[in-house]
């Protein structure tokens, strides 16, 4: 059950769901599963997906939209050109530092665009990751990066921030076990770079 519970500064209904998720637009929704949380972020049509591949494409598309908006907001807040780091003067190239990338454990970094003549598959610096392997890694990584606010209801009916009651890094690692096994046993897309390569 997905319900809008807070919008435009007003509480619209009493909160009953197992989870609450606050989005950057100021709305708060309730949900009972991670699939429903992902549907709040990706769009309610996410619940109609009939295969994992379609769900993955929707998570990637949404992650790109969120990531690009986040990077644009960061650039708009830069007031000093000295904040832009450059590489050696001899090579004439900028030393790119990415703040946030889209990442799947099976294939590595997913570029924001494949249409550039020189698609950048490398990972620059130590960016935050928006993970797209499954609903849980997607939501955990968005919460970890403070791009959504996720709350879970405890036994007393109180809602607590999920990052305050769970170690998100540990939870992500648990969810990644089957994806890491798949990545090791299968040939992955060769153009994508993985963390640490």
Q: Report angle CA 133, 57, 138 to the nearest 5 degrees.
A: 35
In a domain, 195, yes or no: no
**Dist CA 159 CA 165 (whole Å):** 10
In a domain, 30, yes or no: yes
In a domain, 66, yes or no: yes
**Dist CA 32 CA 22 (whole Å):** 14
164-184 pLDDT per residue, tens = 999 999 999 999 999 888 777
In a domain, 193, yes or no: no
111-138 average pLDDT score: 91
- Which H or E run includes 164? helix 162-165
In a domain, 163, yes or no: yes
Helix axes of 34-42 and 52-77: crossing angle, nearest 10 degrees = 60
In a domain, 190, yes or no: no
pLDDT mean across residues, the chain: 87
120-148 average pLDDT score: 94
Number of domains making up the chain: 1
Give the range of the structural domain holding residue 72, as residue numbers without chain letter.
Answer: 3-185
71-79 average pLDDT score: 77
In a domain, 191, yes or no: no
In a domain, 197, yes or no: no
């Amino acid at each position: 059950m997905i319900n809008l519970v807070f919008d435009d500064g007003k509480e619209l209904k009493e909160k009953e769901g197992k989870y609450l998720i606050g989005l950057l637009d100021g709305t708060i929704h309730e949900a009972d599963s991670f699939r429903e949380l992902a549907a709040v972020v990706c769009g309610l049509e996410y619940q109609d997906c009939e295969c994992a591949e379609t769900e993955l494409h929707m998570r990637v598309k949404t992650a790109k939209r969120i990531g690009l908006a986040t990077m644009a907001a960061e650039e708009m807040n830069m007031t000093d050109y000295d904040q832009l780091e450059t590489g050696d003067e001899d090579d004439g190239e900028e030393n790119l530092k990415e703040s946030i990338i889209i990442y799947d454990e099976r294939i590595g970094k997913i570029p924001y665009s494949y249409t550039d003549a020189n698609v950048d598959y490398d990972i620059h610096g130590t960016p935050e990751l928006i993970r797209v392997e499954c609903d849980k890694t997607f939501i955990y990584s968005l919460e970890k990066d403070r791009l959504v606010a996720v709350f879970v209801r405890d036994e007393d009916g109180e809602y607590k921030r999920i990052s305050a009651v769970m170690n998100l890094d540990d939870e992500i690692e648990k969810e990644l076990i089957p994806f890491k096994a798949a990545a090791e046993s299968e040939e992955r897309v060769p153009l994508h770079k993985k963390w640490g390569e």
